[in-house]
Amino acid sequence: MIDRILEEVQNGMLTAAEAKEKLSTYENLGFVKIDHHRKNRQGFPEIVYGEGKSAEQILTIVQSLRARNDSVLVTRISLEKAVIVQKNCPEFEYNEIARTLAWTEEKPKTNGYIAIVCAGTSDLSVAEEAAVTAETLGVNVRRIYDVGVAGLHRLLDNIEEIQNADVSVCVAGMEGALPSVLGGLITNPIIAVPTSVGYGANFNGLSALLSMLNSCASGVSVVNIDNGFGAAYNAVLIHRLAHKGEK
């Protein structure tokens, strides 16, 4: 990219000022620099991490993004803050389990889908964050919940639906064994998300995290504890690759 810009400058196609703008085009709202070129560079608009931001800050950012994109996603936002934002942006939907606030005009462009697989009912919050993320970014999702390894038949019943997904997001807390078992049964990539669900020697998700990193099954990669958003974002990138030739 630098090469190309330098060439264009030399060819007189770009002034130095224009070249500089190309490299750094974000809106400076004072407390935050919003990256509006992200959609160009990354293919998706900037996602807003709600924790630690006030409702007013979120509203400002959301309105700025809303004006320039087809979808906007806020993660880790409380009901209280969401209500304040919704007063000005009533088209945004709040998902209480996922703690997300989202608006999208993206329509899924492919029939492919991401499987969101989840071990227990306590992991729902993380699984839903993943599901909403993928949907907001314009990808179909199938939810396969409560299929932990202690009741193997529940998982085996749903294995074909998972196998037919382009990629799976696999959410599990406690001992985090589900991705290992799943990895032995299917052939597509798995993004594993450890959750902080558990107690005692779980150490806030450390147990599940280590399990997943040490998985004896191939095809499993891992994101941070409780990071449903990150897993879905990865899955969406892979999904896009899997359908890049389609129209």
Residue 170, classed as helix, strand or coil, is strand
| Minimum separation from the CB atom of position 133 to a second copy (A) | 10
Q: Which is nearer to a second copy, 83 or 241 (CB)?
A: 241
Q: Which is nearer to a second copy, 80 or 160 (CB)?
A: 160
Q: Which is nearer to a second copy, 79 or 152 (CB)?
A: 152
User: Does the protein bind a second copy through residue 191 (CB under 8 A)?
Assistant: yes
| Sole binder of a second copy in the list 69, 71, 100, 234 (CB under 8 A) | 234
Choices 62-70, 77-85, 88-96, 144-152; region in contact with a second copy by CB under 8 A: 144-152
Q: Are 192 and 118 in contact (CB under 8 A)?
A: no
Pairing of strands 71-75, 93-95: unpaired
Q: Which is nearer to a second copy, 66 or 243 (CB)?
A: 243
Q: Please choose, from the candidates 112, 96, 95, the residue with its C-alpha nearest in 3D space to the C-alpha of residue 104.
A: 95
Residues 98-137 that bind a second copy (CB under 8 A): 119-122, 124
Q: For helices 228-242 and 124-136, what crossing angle results, to 10°? A: 40
Q: Are 194 and 216 in contact (CB under 8 A)?
A: no
- Tell me the site size for a second copy, rule CB under 8 A: 104
**13-32 mask for a second copy (x: CB under 8 A)?**
--xx--xx--xx-x----xx
User: Does the protein bind a second copy through residue 84 (CB under 8 A)?
Assistant: no
DSSP code at position 123: G
User: Does the protein bind a second copy through residue 45 (CB under 8 A)?
Assistant: no
Q: Which residues contact 233 (CB under 8 A, 6 or more apart)?
A: 44, 47, 133, 137
